[in-house]
Structure 1
Amino acid sequence: MTPYRKRSLAFGLLYASEGAPIGFIWWAMPTQLRLAGVEPSVIAVIVGLLVVPWIFKFLWAPLIDYAQSRFGGFQFWVILAQIFMGLTLLPLVHLDLQEQFQLVVVCLFAHAFFAATQDVAIDGWLVKVTPVHERGKITGWMQAGMLIGRWLFGAGLLLVSDQIDFHVTIYALVAWIWFMLLVVVVTLYFPRGFEYLRGEANFGVIGRNLKRALTSSVTWLGIAIALTAGAGFEAVGAIAGPFFVDRGYSGPLVGYYYTAAVPAMMLGAVLGGYLADRVGHRITVMVAVVAIFAIISSVSAAAMLDLAEAFVVTPMVVLYAGIGLLTVSSYALFMDLTNPKIAGTQFSTYMGATNGCESWAAIAIGGLLTFLPYSQAFFFIALASLVSLFFLIKVKGRFEDSGPKHFKRPVPPA
């Protein structure tokens, strides 16, 4: 197996371990809560709050950048995080989702902290070992892996929600996360394809590079892009389950919708990765932003005009192809803007900003839904995402000087 294929497989499987709890928290749980009678505005706020650890993961990312060379590389942090990801989910076996809801949220929040730490370690490791020309393609395979995990414990759970006990699902989710630890162990025993230059790992070097990044306009433009580009799809995705429930769908029917969405997003991610590497990461992000706005606008119009259900469901599925395209191209762009010496910290800052977008968009649409119907709320939140085009245009003239050229590094041996 070539080093590229090994990297694609390993990071794809690791993202599958990330995707499983995301599928449960973002797809299955909101649908089940709505079926239990919880208001959509409340559900949106809860989802928004659970994203908080991902938003602020940059605060402890410098520790991971510093300590990774002293504790076996980024792999050590991935192993540690995944162990605690499982341990924080196990108490849910003994809790009732409705009657002990506050304790459930506490456990999920603790899980989110360790999942965010895992995210920092995996992304920092990825930036260190992946050549520039592979970034779009490997990100595509990572998103494919994430979607497999998300489908199994999101859409898959909804499809069998009438037959399988909730507690069995938690055990399966923990087993899935811990099984993926084998992937990290294999890379430790067979490291070819995962080599990287560790460099000097001390706070002085990290501090100087952080100062350099903080004074670069491109860093702030990247953060602005991350905070705005995904607003439309993040908001619609957070409330899609309740949206369909209010249109008369049962839990299994919502599961079928998410089942159709998974291959759509996977196709968008894999093809989008190849497209982004060919035509440019920035241009692909701009195309994806406009496409997603157009798709959400069509859903909004169909719902407002009370058209046949096919005119609502079809673009909602196609939306996930656009999400796949935007996700892989934007992640590749953020990798271009990342200094490998502070890979965990800087890339995690961009990723934290995308999670910030997810949080504010979910909370915002929850607020809009208190006085607007779904159709209008969808349109206005999608309109907000177009602000990112301004930042994407602004970054063009500074990209070569402050982006990849500024942070150029040797490509690891194949």
Structure 2
Amino acid sequence: MKEKKLNISKRLGKNLSDNAFTRYVTFSALYAAQGIPEGITYFALPAWLAMNGKSAMEIAALVSVMLIPWSFKVLIAPVMDRFTLLAMGRKRPWVIFGQVGLIFSFLYLGMVPDPLNNLSGLMIAGFFVNFFGAFQDVATDGMAVEVIPANEQARANGLMWGSKTIGVSASLILGTWLINNLGFSLAVSLLSLAIVIIMIFPIYFRERPGEKLMPWTSGKASMDSKRTQLRSWTHIFKSLYRVVSLRASVILCIGVFILGIMYGMVDTLLPIFSIQELGWTNTYFSNVLSLTAVIGGFLGMFIGGYLVDYFGKIKMLTIYLVIITSVIASFAFMANLWDILFISIAFILCYTTLYTFLCIAVFASAMHLCWKTVAATQFTLYMALSNTGRSVGAGVLGIVKTNFDWETVFLIIAVIPFLLIILIQFINLKRHRIVVKSFDVIAQKITVKTVLNGKDMKPRIAEKQKL
């Protein structure tokens, strides 16, 4: 027994930078924490409102407003790169802060009075939940980019997105049951306990050896953190512009924004379509979406990352986009079969699985394009554009559905991934990495030159002082 305990303790080290198992466990837990409020605000809440007769326009407007904070990520990231409590790590203090904010904002959501007749109150509370969700997401992604080695990125993204999907699914199915049986306020308050439990991970694990666990404990900033910490706004934004203006990066920026529109439209569509068109209850919809999302999540965790590693990022992105275009377009032409339970459930299963696989491939590609000097801000820029697209897509869905029937809505959505198939063929990851490496070489030369000049100047200054 003692030997087993020793092996487990060795395997689960306390430092993210030097222990792969610790990285996988911690980032999976933090992504699961992000999934809990998303399951409630994006799916359980809209389904509950649809069940109680709210229109597609009202629900779409609510979701669109709640998604807005995810567009702020691009403003939050540079602040995190510029300021931190370095003795606790570059991003871990921000992760803890975001997690605390997520807990309190989630409790605030549960305190909204008369939520069914108070959409403005839900909008405000949902806005804050998503603001701190986005905050925690930026910090977690920044920490992941810095401590996860390149050869682990696809595998780690598979585990992270699989965990997030499971978090969304578990909160959706449990949240729906709690809302129906205990009421909205108590349901949301109880689910916040899960976020509190996950708080243990960023508190217990350090980024790098020798750092403080908390501000009042012993420890100091590591040399790696000191070396990579940026202390100039000019340096941050010049470096960011330099790498983001490269062709592959520009194309990915456009691509993730367009893909985000599809995500936002489908996420907003599913509860409305299932309940108001197919006649499902919110409980039945939650069960179906949760089960299919868990299946998709597990497939993503154990297969998605491996496929991207083995066949390549752009190749797998292309394949996923071709399949998801075919699935959505085919479903649009099967309107006479929508009443068959198997057809509708099969569509949701295919979409949720492909969604997870697409996210893994996109995240791995985005990490691959990042320049370590501004990796957190650069990666966040990609994700912010995707989330801006989601907000736009949620709003667009309400307008499109008001003017067209469901078959046309699905066909319009199918056009989006088709356009992306063409666009991503212009991304050359190898060429991009060569250019980014040249940036590092130039930066190193400048640093060495500065140091040498500084050493040369000291004797000259001393001679002048003697004279």
**1:101 matched to 2:119:** yes
Q: CA deviation at 1:304?
A: 5.0
- C-alpha contact 1:52 1:359 (8 A) present in aligned 2: yes
1:25-67 CA distances to partner (integer Å, 9 max, x unpaired)? 1110110111111111221232122111112210121010111
Partner of residue 379, structure 2: 347
**1:19 to 1:196, Cα distance in 2 relative to 1, 3 A:** farther
**1:306 to 1:281, Cα distance in 2 relative to 1, 3 A:** closer
Partner of residue 248, structure 2: 218
Partner of residue 144, structure 2: 126
Partner of residue 232, structure 1: 262
State the TM-score, normalized to the length of structure 1: 0.92
State the TM-score, normalized to the length of structure 2: 0.82
Partner of residue 37, structure 1: 53
Partner of residue 83, structure 2: 67
Percent identity for Structure 1 against Structure 2: 22
- C-alpha contact 1:53 1:113 (8 A) present in aligned 2: yes
Inter-partner Cα distance in structure 2 for 1:394 and 1:128: 27
Partner of residue 113, structure 1: 131
**1:291 to 1:189, Cα distance in 2 relative to 1, 3 A:** closer
1:96-138 CA distances to partner (integer Å, 9 max, x unpaired)? 2113321221111122212111111100100001111111111
Partner of residue 105, structure 2: 88
Of the three residues 387, 392, 398, the one matched with 1:360 is 392
Q: Which consecutive unaligned segments of at least 5 residues does structure 2 have?
A: 1-10, 13-18, 211-221, 442-467
**1:131 to 1:12, Cα distance in 2 relative to 1, 3 A:** same
Q: CA deviation at 1:93?
A: 3.2
- C-alpha contact 2:316 2:361 (8 A) present in aligned 1: yes
Q: Which has the larger radius of gyration?
A: 2
- Aligned pairs (5 A) from 1:311-330: 311-330=343-362
**1:150 matched to 2:182:** no
Q: CA deviation at 1:369?
A: 0.4
Q: CA RMSD in A?
A: 2.4
**1:363 to 1:158, Cα distance in 2 relative to 1, 3 A:** same
Inter-partner Cα distance in structure 2 for 1:156 and 1:227: 31
- C-alpha contact 1:61 1:120 (8 A) present in aligned 2: yes
**1:272 matched to 2:304:** yes
Inter-partner Cα distance in structure 2 for 1:313 and 1:149: 20
Q: Give the helix-richer structure, 1 or 2.
A: 2
Q: Structure 2 counterpart of 1:314, which letter?
A: A
Inter-partner Cα distance in structure 1 for 2:339 and 2:25: 43
**1:402 matched to 2:432:** yes
Q: CA deviation at 1:233?
A: 4.3
Partner of residue 413, structure 2: 381
**1:77 matched to 2:109:** no
Q: CA deviation at 1:348?
A: 0.6
**1:332 matched to 2:364:** yes
**1:407 to 1:360, Cα distance in 2 relative to 1, 3 A:** farther
Inter-partner Cα distance in structure 1 for 2:59 and 2:209: 43
Inter-partner Cα distance in structure 2 for 1:40 and 1:191: 52
Q: Which consecutive unaligned segments of at least 5 residues does structure 1 have?
A: none
- C-alpha contact 1:230 1:385 (8 A) present in aligned 2: no
Of the three residues 250, 272, 276, the one matched with 2:281 is 250
Q: CA deviation at 1:405?
A: 5.9
**1:295 to 1:332, Cα distance in 2 relative to 1, 3 A:** same
By relative contact order (CA 8 Å, sep 6+), the higher-ranking structure is 1
- C-alpha contact 2:289 2:348 (8 A) present in aligned 1: no
**1:85 to 1:107, Cα distance in 2 relative to 1, 3 A:** same
How many matched pairs? 408
Q: CA deviation at 1:160?
A: 4.7
Inter-partner Cα distance in structure 2 for 1:266 and 1:49: 27
Q: Structure 2 counterpart of 1:101, which letter?
A: L
> Which is further off, 279-288 or 163-172?
163-172
**1:165 matched to 2:195:** no
Partner of residue 62, structure 2: 46
